[in-house]
Amino acid sequence: MIDFNQYKAITFDCYGTLIDWETGILTAIKPLLINHNINLDDNEILEYFAEFESELEQGEYIQYREVLNRVVQKFGEKFAFTPTDIEINSLADSIQYWQPFADTVAALKLLQQRSQLVIISNVDDDLFAFSAKKLEVEFNQIITAQQVKSYKPSLNNFRQAIASINLPTEQILHVAASVYHDIIPAKSLGLSTVWVNRRYGQQGSGATIPSRGEPDLEVPDLKTLASGLSNSFS
C-alpha cells in the first residue's frame, strides 16, 4: 500500500486522466467518418486513434497539433477518403471543448491542499491552455511535449520533469490513466505510480496502446485517490 505521507509532489498525465479525451476524440472523429460513409464502432475508432497517434509520436518531434492533423489524414488513408482542410484541423480544434471527468476538479482541489501539483502531458502549450481553464487549479509546474520536444513514453519527458521539480524521486507520485504512456516509463525511473483505470469494466484498451505494467496502486477514478490521500493525513 502507498504511504501518501512521503510525497511532496503529485504529477499528472492530463488527457485521459484529468480530461475525458476519449469522448472528445469520438465527438470529433465520428461525424467526420460518417460524412465519408465510414461506420466504425467507438472502440474501433479509439483503437485506430491509438495506433496512428503512437506511430506519429515515435518519429522526429512535431507539435501535437500536427500529430492530430496527421491522425485525421491517416484515417483518410486507411479508409480511402480525402479529408478537407477543415476536417484535418477538426480534431486539434476540438481540444478546446474537451471536458474534465466529473471527479477531476474536486479531486485536484483536495490534493492541492497536500502536495505540489504538476502536469506532464503530451500536448502543445496553447492546447493545454484551453484545458487548464477547465481544471480550476493553479499547477506548480506544467511540462509539455512541446517544451521537451518528445512524447511519452519517452523517458526524456519524465527526466526533465523530475529535474524541474527538484525533489528526490521517492517524494514524487505519478498519476495516469495510460500504462503505455506513463506507468511503465515512470516506474522505470523509480517513481511511485497510481494507475487511474478510467476504462474499468469496458472492453478494449481505448485510445492508448494496450500494455501491461505494475503500478503501485490502481484506482477507478480520482475521487478514490483523493479520498485515500485525505484519509492518510487524518
| Class level of CATH domain 21-97 | mainly alpha
Checking if the pLDDT of 1 tops 70, the result is no
Q: Which position has the higher pLDDT, 165 or 4?
A: 165
Model confidence at 233: pLDDT above 60: no
β partners of residue 19:
15, 100
Question: Which whole number is the average pLDDT over 47-66?
Answer: 97
pLDDT confidence of residue 232 = 62
The pLDDT of residue 206 is above 60: yes
CA–CA distance, 70 with 52 (Å, rounded to integer): 8
Is the model more confident about 204 or about 30? 30
- Whether 204 shows a pLDDT value over 90: the answer reads no
Q: Residue 234 pLDDT more than 80?
A: no
Q: What angle do CA 15, 205, 77 make, to 5 degrees?
A: 85
pLDDT over threshold 90, residue 4: no
The pLDDT of residue 13 is above 60: yes
- Among 3, 13, 103, 216, the active-site one is 13
pLDDT surpasses 60 at 69: yes
With a pLDDT cut of 70, the percent of the chain lying above it is: 97
Q: What is the DSSP secondary-structure string of the chain? A: ---GGG-SEEEE--BTTTB-HHHHHHHHHHHHHHHTT----HHHHHHHHHHHHHHHHHSS---HHHHHHHHHHHHHHHHT----HHHHHHHHHHGGG--B-TTHHHHHHHHHTTSEEEEEESS-HHHHHHHHHHH-S--SEEEEHHHHT--TTSHHHHHHHHHHHTS-GGGEEEEES-IIIIIHHHHHTT-EEEEE-TTTT-SS-TTS-------SEEESSHHHHHHHHHHHT-
| Location of each CATH 3.40.50.1000 domain in the chain | 4-19+100-232
Mean pLDDT value of segment 8-15: 98
Q: Is the pLDDT of residue 89 over 80?
A: yes
**Distances from the Cα of 15 to the Cα of 111, 119, 131, 220, angstroms:** 18, 10, 9, 16
Instruction: Assess whether pLDDT exceeds 90 at residue 59.
Output: no
Q: Tell me, what's the pLDDT at 230? A: 66
Residues of the chain with CATH 1.10.150.750: 21-97
Q: What is the CATH number of domain 4-19+100-232?
A: 3.40.50.1000
Active-site annotation holds for 124: no
The structure's pTM equals 0.95
- Rounded to an integer, the average pLDDT of 201-222 is 94
